């Protein structure tokens, strides 16, 4: 059994992979005796991760950290300084490349930040953007203005705002949707596969026809990274 760990800036996510099946798991009750290896990706410092790595060594479980490379199989990174690309973005690209081969894809991962990455059918990462996540956008305004306030019960909607919480939340949503539309302009194919992941992935996916929401996208990418890198 393989333990997969994805450490973002907000949350540590864990999953167990067995016969190719990836299932989210709770790190407080891990079946260490059945775990053969621990594969992890880390964009932020995380004490919890250090604890897990210590437990892994106590159980003699080998640990492997995913890193961005210039190329992996025929997937090529857009960044000259490829090590500066967020590993979660690279893993999302690896998953898209493996799951939607020979297709133009746009990968949108909505976590602390929202990242948007454009991938051609030939496996060339064209680059992308980093936006504040939806909560970061709304919090940055409520915390830095006198009169803009939020309301936890107000949903994000793709509509004009007719009160302050509407204007705030819908503004964050449409700004993010607009960035996805802009990303499409960088592909000749006008119907790329849109793939959403992360905290607000389902909400964003619902705004587009034929889009995919895969909450395990980064975990799948982490697993593919290990499979492709170990050979």
Ligand X SMILES: CC(C)(COP(=O)(O)O)[C@@H](O)C(=O)NCCC(=O)O
Positions in the binding site for K ion (CB under 5 A): 8, 88, 111, 198
130 binds ligand X (CB under 6 A): yes
Question: Closest separation between CB of residue 60 and K ion, Å?
Answer: 30
The upper half-sphere exposure of residue 44, i.e. CA atoms within 13 Å in the direction of its Cβ, equals 13
Which of residues 2, 13, 76, 89 is near ligand X by CB under 6 A? 89
Q: Which is nearer to ligand X, 2 or 89 (CB)?
A: 89
Please state, in angstroms and rounded to a whole number, the distance separating the CA atoms of residues 185 and 206. Answer: 20
The upper half-sphere exposure of residue 147, i.e. CA atoms within 13 Å in the direction of its Cβ, equals 2
Q: Which is nearer to ligand X, 86 or 192 (CB)?
A: 86
Please state, in angstroms and rounded to a whole number, the distance separating the CA atoms of residues 212 and 152. Answer: 27
Nearest to 93 by CA among 73, 64, 65: 73
9 binds ligand X (CB under 6 A): yes
Q: At what angle do helices 217-230 and 87-99 cross, to 10 degrees?
A: 80
Q: Which is nearer to K ion, 30 or 218 (CB)?
A: 218
88 binds ligand X (CB under 6 A): yes
199 binds, among K ion, ligand X, none (CB under 5 to 8 A by kind): none
* Count of other CB atoms within 10 angstroms of residue 67: 12
* Token pair listed for 20: 């190719």
Considering only CA atoms, give the Rg of the chain: 19
Question: Closest separation between CB of residue 124 and ligand X, Å?
Answer: 17
| Phi, psi (deg, nearest 5) at residue 165 | -60, -35
6 is catalytic: no
* Token pair listed for 108: 């949108």
Question: Closest separation between CB of residue 146 and K ion, Å?
Answer: 32
Binding residues among 15-74 for ligand X as defined by CB under 6 A: 43
Q: Which is nearer to K ion, 6 or 104 (CB)?
A: 6
Active site residues per annotation: 88
Binding positions for ligand X, rule: CB under 6 A: 8-9, 43, 84-86, 88-89, 111-113, 115, 130
């Amino acid at each position: 059994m393989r333990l997969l760990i994805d450490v973002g800036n907000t949350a540590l996510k864990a999953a167990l992979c067995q016969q190719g099946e990836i299932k989210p798991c709770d790190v407080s009750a891990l079946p260490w005796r059945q775990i053969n290896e621990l594969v992890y990706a880390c964009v932020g410092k995380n004490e919890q991760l250090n604890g897990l790595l210590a437990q892994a060594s106590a159980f003699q479980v080998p640990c492997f950290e995913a890193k961005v490379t210039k190329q992996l199989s025929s997937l090529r990174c857009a960044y000259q300084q490829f090590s500066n690309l967020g590993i979660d973005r690279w893993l999302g690209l690896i998953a898209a490349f493996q799951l939607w081969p020979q297709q133009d894809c746009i990968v949108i991962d909505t976590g602390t930040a929202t990242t948007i990455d454009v991938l051609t059918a030939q496996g060339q990462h064209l680059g992308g953007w980093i936006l504040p996540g939806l909560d970061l956008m709304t919090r940055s305004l409520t915390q830095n203005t006198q009169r803009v306030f939020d309301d936890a019960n107000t949903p994000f909607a793709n509509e004009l705002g007719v009160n302050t919480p509407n204007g705030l939340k819908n503004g964050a949503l449409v700004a993010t949707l607009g960035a996805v539309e802009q990303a499409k302009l960088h592909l000749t194919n006008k119907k790329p596969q849109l793939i959403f992941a992360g905290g607000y992935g389902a909400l964003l996916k619902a705004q587009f026809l034929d889009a995919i929401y895969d909450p395990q996208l980064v975990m799948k990418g982490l697993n593919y990274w290990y499979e492709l890198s170990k050979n």
